[in-house]
Structure 1
Amino acid sequence: MQILNKEQVINNVQKQFLKTTLPDINIGDRVSVGVKIIEGNKERVQYYQGNIIAKKNGGINTTITVRTVLQGIGVERVFLIHSPKIDSIEILRSSKVRRAKLYYLRGLKGKASRLKQRFN
């Protein structure tokens, strides 16, 4: 009989809920995130497109921050990628970046905020 400490027990429970079908997500990627929305007794998927400006790794608590500009106003959302509310994540385009966090995009407007495309 093996005795497990608290950390091992938590890790074993979290492994069951990790998604294995996620694409390889990088900073600077333009993604489309499908979020399940429940309205009354109906459920639908709403897509949110934008650039990933930050990623925080933490096992089941891994998050990405997606930024888009709607009608001249910057909108950012933080998504818990292993959440059951996330239906799909699709990479539309990859970009060349030299930073781990792209917070400098918040201060740029128009064409200045474009990122160079990376071809694989």
Structure 2
Amino acid sequence: MTTPAVNAGSQLLVHRCVDCRRWVYPEAERCPVCAGPLAAEPVSGEGTVFTYTVNHHAFQPAIPVPYVIAIVELAEQTDLRMATNIVGCPPDEVAVGMPVRVAFEQRGDMLVPVFERA
């Protein structure tokens, strides 16, 4: 699974076809619809929880359990979905269809996109 890029201004970047303007995630070499070239562009960071699960097993000691692993559908395009974590919201309050917005967490030398309740 690829992680979407984040630019220096803390914007979420997703690849978009230069020709047909379709958003493409996960990253690919060419557009799967028209085979056009792709370029990273900023998205709004707004979306909704498409589905989720609550993890109660500590795979990574630095991440306290429980935590929410979700598929978020971005507002830019139906079927533009990414796997992420939902933060700043008790796991029992997360729901399918819940509006969310991107936030960023520093993990080592990387700025990682996560989502919080909008």
Give the TM-score normalised by the residue count of structure 2: 0.27
Bigger strand fraction: 2
Is the radius of gyration larger for structure 1 or structure 2? Answer: 1
Higher RCO (CA < 8 A, seq sep 6+): 1
Bigger helix fraction: 1
